Each structure stands twice: as C-alpha cells, then as structure tokens.
Amino acid sequence: MRPFRFSLSLLVMALASQLAAQASPIPSSATAAPIVEMQPEAMRLLAQGQDALFEEDFKACEDAIRRAQATEPGHPLPAIFLQSMLIYQLQVEQKLGHDTRPIQARLEMAGDAAVASAEAYIQARPGPVAELYLGGALGTRGMGHLYEGSYVVAYRDGKKAYRLLQQCVAEEPQLFNAYVGLGTFEYESGRLASVLQYILNLHGDVDYGLDLLKTCEQRASYAAPSALMHLARIYTNEVPDPALSLLYLKKLCSRYPRNPSFAGWCADAARRAGWKSPTATELFEPVLDQWDQGWRPDRKRLDIPALRMEYAQALLRQGQHELARRQLAALAGADDPALAGQAKSLLKDLP
C-alpha cells in the first residue's frame, strides 16, 4: 500500500518506512557473522506475521506478533511490527471508505508503547541494534502522527529517528534490515521539488536510494519483502522500467499472489505494455488465475472483471483470437450483466 503522497509524508516515510530506517554507505559483499536480533522462534513468528500482513489477513498478523511478544517479552521489534500492521490496515480501511478512528486510536497507543519499549531496550543494551529499534519506532510513530494531521510532531519524530539511524548504520553497516528506510529516504527526498529540498534541508539521491533498496532486498531478512515492495512500486509506477518492473513484480506477486495492491500494479504494468506479452502473460494472467480460483478482492480497490475485459479487447485488436476467446468465455458468466452481455456479444463476432 502507498501512504499519502504529499511532501511531509514522503519525509516521514523516508525516515521510518514500515519496518526500519537508517543511513550509511553500501557495504562490500564480504560475508560477516549474522547479526542476531531476536530468538529464532520469535523471528519465525514475525516472518509469519509479515506474510499475513501482505496477504491482508490482519487478525493472523496480529496473532503472530502477539505470540512473538510472548516468546521474548520486552523486545521492541514486535511492537514496531504492530505499528506497521496498523498503518497498513489504516491505509486499506481508508481506501474502502471505512471509519478509521478506532484504528487511529490504536495506532497512537501502539506508537507510544513501541517508543517506550525501544527506549528501555537502548538503556539496557546500548548499541547499533538498539538505535535501529528506537529510530524505527520513532519514525513509524511519525507516520501515525501524519494520519492524525499532526505534521509538526511527525516531523520532530522523523528528525530524531533519522539522527539515531544514521548513527546506527555508521556503527554497523551489516544491519541490512535497516537499508529499506534509508533507501526510501534517499529516493523520496531526491524526488522532492527543489524548493521543498531547500526548506526541509533534504537533498536525497534517487539512484543511491534505489541501490540501497536493492541491497536490502538481496541481503536483509525481515526487511527484504518491504524493500521488494518499494522496488516493484517504483519501477512500475514512478520510474517506469519494463524489465525491472517485470523482475520485481514477478518476485513480489509469486510470494503474495492475493494482495490487491500488488495485483493492481501488475495490471498497471500490463496496461503500460499495451497488454502484450511477456508482461501481460507473466504478470496479469496469474492475477486472473487467482480470480478463477475464487479470490474476490473488493472491487473498490481492484475491479478484475473490468480489467479482464480491457485485456480481452486488447487481445482482439492484436489478432490473438483464441487467447481473447478464453478471457471472454470467463467473462460471459460474470455477475455484472452488462459485462457478461458485452462478452457474449464479442464471442459471437469472433471468427
């Protein structure tokens, strides 16, 4: 999901992202001892929760986070994951036009709890990992303040987070889970209008930000899916690159095939390619397969039957009658009478 796209939200997203944030040069590819952040069982539960989040099963996500908290009480990372889940859920509910005040209230409490947990952790175990957690908790709380309309408070949290996270990765460049935030920061601030860069004293580097996100996607653990999500979105909708869009969307959607936002990006990429192969066949047809297997996302977010008709009509224009016939046959049984009638009419006209 994408947060609000105005300048201050870009700043705080840059400072927080969804799971972590930071700053430093990209380290060499030399191997190093893995940095252990939590017990293996707790990390397994958080990974399970993150998968549930990207499948938009918020109940399963929160259950996994709570079990991780019980496995290692007092550790701040599950609290930061809970913040991220609530932000994601808030974005979904907003898109559907639902009342988000209950989630906003929970998010405010979760943000304060995560910061308090991270502050206690850094007192007990000072060092770069603790700085990562406190920076991540502050930055993610800043995102929550944005949704309340508290822009100044959000900016303050973001500035504190950025200072902590710069220090964190300067001390430990192998904290690859941190790179998603810095990559987002460099990329987003590099795209700000020059006047905003001047006012906010932000001078990002788009290419450097993308390199950091790629490093995170390749070498991080729990932050890698978030980096992959950003790369897929960027190369599909903001810096269109058909080859990289195809690469990252295939990876993302093979892992999370029933996420409405990700499926929508696949449709965007296919439309941009003129609904032609390989983009349409490798990205959009798997979305249609999920629909045919019973997946029904809310049509306010993703109208798959309408997109299928657009795809079928493009196939007809390309002279790919048999491929078009298959799509139109599926649409002939659509719940929408107008769409079903249009499909039946087009089927009759096929040679």
Query: Is the pLDDT assigned to residue 193 strictly greater than 90?
Result: no
Highest mean pLDDT among 61-75, 88-102, 146-160: 61-75
248 with 232: CB under 8 angstroms?
yes
Domain ranges of the chain: 7-238, 258-349
Is the distance from CB of 182 to CB of 165 less than 8 angstroms?
yes
Extract long-range pairs of 151-154: CB within 8 Å, 24+ residues apart: 151/8, 154/8, 154/12
Give pLDDT tens digits for 244-256: 999 999 999 999 9
With 60 as the cut, is the pLDDT of residue 281 above it?
yes
The string of DSSP codes covering 108-137 is HHHHHHHHHHHHHHHHHS-SHHHHHHHHHH
pLDDT band at 321 (very low <50, low <70, confident <90, very high): very high
The string of pLDDT tens digits covering residues 97-120 is 899 999 999 999 999 999 999 999
Residue 28, pLDDT above cutoff 70: no
Cβ-contact 239, 207 below 8 angstroms: no
Per-residue pLDDT band at 213 (split at 50, 70, 90): very high
| One-letter identity of residue 222 | Y
What local confidence, expressed as pLDDT, does residue 18 receive? 36
**Over 80: is that where the pLDDT of 313 sits?**
yes
Q: What is the DSSP letter of 173?
A: T
In this structure, of 14-18, 39-43, 207-211, 330-334, the range with the lowest mean pLDDT score is 14-18
CATH of domain 7-238: 1.25.40
54: which 2 tokens? 């990207």
Q: What is the mean pLDDT of residues 322-340?
A: 94
CA 334 to chain CA centroid, nearest Å: 31
Work out the widest C-alpha separation in the chain, in whole angstroms. Answer: 75
Q: Check pLDDT > 50 for residue 239.
A: yes
Question: CA of 127: how far to CAs of 134, 147, 236, in Å?
Answer: 11, 31, 38
